[in-house]
């Protein structure tokens, strides 16, 4: 999968757009004043760069070598406080100090259920009281959910695997906050997202959840 994203990032500028998601812009002020922000699946850096330009220290993680190179080059040009790590989330070591925030934008829908459980457990280890987590994922309101449910191999809990190995997971409506029991919900919106396109692909939109939670 990393090789596929390498190709997309090499051939498409701003594959997922240039602007940060609404939840990041509207809730950045809630991040603690000290500590790094972890951006999991940073891609070409639209969130990591935006945060670093505002003085936040960012650890940007992605398994794609092209993604990491792109973020490194942009950070070097602007002397931004970004540390990059080429890795999947499961291979990361625990940080020396808890993260002030964790971004999980667009990663959950690519993980099977057992990896979602591992991700949530890792975030629990990597955070502390006051840490803020930003999540954007797909829900079962997604226009493609019914087709995938009928055609792909089920993995359980709204998750499916395609013949080519791709995984798509759709959270039940209203279920996202339950991933973080006991955390304070700061923002929770479920709706059809905007129409968009990736490179020359046809326009699409997703049923998605936007969630911001703070550890208490």
Identify the CATH homologous superfamily for domain 2-214: Vaccinia Virus protein VP39 (3.40.50.150)
pLDDT string in tens for the chain (216-residue length)? 556 554 545 555 655 556 899 999 999 999 998 999 999 999 889 999 999 999 999 999 999 888 899 999 999 999 999 999 999 999 999 999 999 999 999 899 999 999 999 999 999 999 999 999 999 999 999 999 999 999 999 999 999 999 999 999 999 999 999 999 999 999 999 999 887 656 666 788 989 999 999 999
Cβ(53)–Cβ(79) under 8 Å? no
Q: Is the pTM of this model over 0.85?
A: yes
């Amino acid at each position: 999968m990393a090789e596929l994203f390498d190709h997309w990032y090499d051939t498409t500028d701003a594959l997922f757009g240039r602007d940060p998601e609404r939840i990041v812009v509207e809730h950045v002020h809630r991040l603690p004043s000290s500590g790094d922000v972890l951006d999991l699946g940073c891609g070409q850096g639209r969130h990591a760069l935006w945060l670093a330009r505002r003085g936040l220290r960012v650890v940007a993680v992605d398994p794609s070598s092209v993604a990491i190179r792109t973020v490194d080059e942009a950070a070097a040009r602007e002397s931004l406080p970004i540390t990059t790590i080429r890795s999947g989330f499961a291979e990361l070591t625990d940080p020396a100090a808890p993260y002030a925030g964790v971004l999980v934008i667009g990663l959950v829908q690519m993980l099977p259920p057992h990896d979602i459980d591992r991700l949530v457990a890792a975030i629990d280890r990597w955070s502390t009281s006051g840490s803020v987590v930003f999540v954007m994922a797909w829900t079962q309101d997604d226009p493609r959910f019914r087709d995938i449910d009928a055609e792909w191999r089920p993995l359980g809990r709204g998750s499916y695997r395609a013949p080519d190995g791709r995984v798509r997971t759709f959270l039940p409506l209203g279920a996202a906050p339950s991933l973080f029991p006991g955390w304070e919900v700061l923002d929770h919106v479920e709706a059809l997202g905007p129409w968009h396109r990736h490179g020359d692909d046809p326009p699409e939109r997703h049923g998605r959840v936007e969630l911001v939670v703070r550890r208490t």
